[in-house]
């Protein structure tokens, strides 16, 4: 029987203590504020587009004031109202994406990284995936090729339909623009 290594014994002790004890052992002080990557991603997907842009404008290393954040948004080409940015900051604080180290100064909380999976207990030889073999019979080869050609034809047709839809939309928009130009010239 294989004796576990020191690293394996340490991992077993961590998993045996429970989740909260493991977080404390790894140096996470505020367990209530702990957020794993999937929870972070799920909350981030629920943010509004403006809140995502405000989050991107807030640095992680230093704390910025509201005016610095607004000017950074302006530098990024995003013009928004001060009240909207304040609302986004409030929502981001509530979702624990940013923190306020001092009043009126905001900094981004580092995004959690996915934990590494525990090392395997035993090292079993891993099977390599075998390459799909091409059929040797000419009729079977033709059938496989025909199937792949059909799949490519379907993709080409979908792309052509998307291009056609874009062209008609551009034509509609240009017709509206021409009408507007004619109306403006008439006055």
Distance CA 160, CA 168 (A): 12
pLDDT mean across residues, the chain: 80
- Tell me the three state secondary structure of residue 100: strand
Of all residues in the chain, the percent with pLDDT exceeding 90 is 29
Taking the CA of residue 155 as centre, how many other CA atoms within 13 Å lie in the half-sphere pointing to its CB? 6
Across the range 59-85, mean pLDDT stands at 90
**What pTM did the predictor assign?**
0.45
Across the range 80-97, mean pLDDT stands at 89
The pLDDT, as a whole number, for residue 164 is: 92
Distance CA 131, CA 128 (A): 9
Q: What would the pLDDT profile of 12-22 be if each residue is shown by its tens digit?
A: 665 555 666 66
Across the range 47-67, mean pLDDT stands at 90
CB 28 within 8 A of CB 36: no
Q: What would the pLDDT profile of 101-160 be if each residue is shown by its tens digit?
A: 899 999 988 776 655 556 666 655 555 555 566 677 888 888 888 999 999 998 999 999
* Region 35-114: CATH code: 1.10.10.10
| Whether residue 32 has pLDDT greater than 60 | no
The pLDDT, as a whole number, for residue 149 is: 93
* Cα dihedral 15→18→23→26 (10° resolution): -40
The pLDDT, as a whole number, for residue 106 is: 93
Return the domain boundaries, the chain: 1-32, 35-114, 135-187
The pLDDT, as a whole number, for residue 3 is: 72
Across the range 40-49, mean pLDDT stands at 82
């Amino acid at each position: 029987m294989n004796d576990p290594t020191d690293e394996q014994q340490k991992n077993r002790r961590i998993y045996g203590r429970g989740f909260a004890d493991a977080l404390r052992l790894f140096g996470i002080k505020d367990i209530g504020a702990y957020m794993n990557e999937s929870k972070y991603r799920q909350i981030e997907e629920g943010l509004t587009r403006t809140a995502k842009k405000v989050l991107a404008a807030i640095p992680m290393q230093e704390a910025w004031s509201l005016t610095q954040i607004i000017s950074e948004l302006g530098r990024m080409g995003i013009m928004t109202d001060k009240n909207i940015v304040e609302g986004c900051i409030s929502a981001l604080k509530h979702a624990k994406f940013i923190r306020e180290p001092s009043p009126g100064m905001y900094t981004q909380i580092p995004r959690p990284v996915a934990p590494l999976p525990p090392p395997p207990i035993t090292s079993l030889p891993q099977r390599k995936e075998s390459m799909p073999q091409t059929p040797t019979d000419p009729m079977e080869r033709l059938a496989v090729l025909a199937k792949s050609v059909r799949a490519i034809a379907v993709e080409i047709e979908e792309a052509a339909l998307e291009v056609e839809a874009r062209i008609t939309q551009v034509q509609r928009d240009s017709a509206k623009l021409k009408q507007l130009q004619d109306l403006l010239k008439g006055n």
